[in-house]
Amino acid sequence: MTQNYTIKQFPTVTITGYAAQLPLPTMANIQEVSTLKSHHFMTLAQSGQFGELMSASRDKIGYALSGVTDEQLEYFAGANTTVTPTAAETRTVPAGDYVVLTGQGGPSRQLFDQLIGQFFSKILPENPQLYKEDSFVIEALLNGNPADAVVELRIPVSK
pLDDT of residue 70: 83
pLDDT of residue 1: 42
Calpha distance 68→66 (Å, rounded): 7
**In a structure prediction context, what are the per-residue pLDDT tens digits for the chain, which is 159 residues long?**
445 899 999 999 999 999 999 999 888 999 999 999 999 999 999 999 999 999 999 999 999 999 988 889 999 999 999 999 999 999 999 999 999 999 999 999 999 999 999 998 999 999 888 888 778 999 999 999 999 999 999 999 975
pLDDT of residue 34: 95
Closest CA to 75 of 126, 8, 22, 145: 22
Calpha distance 118→111 (Å, rounded): 10
Which domains can be identified in the chain, with CATH numbers? 5-156 (3.20.80.10)
Alpha helix segments (H runs only) across the chain: 30-47, 49-55, 108-118, 124-126
pLDDT of residue 159: 57
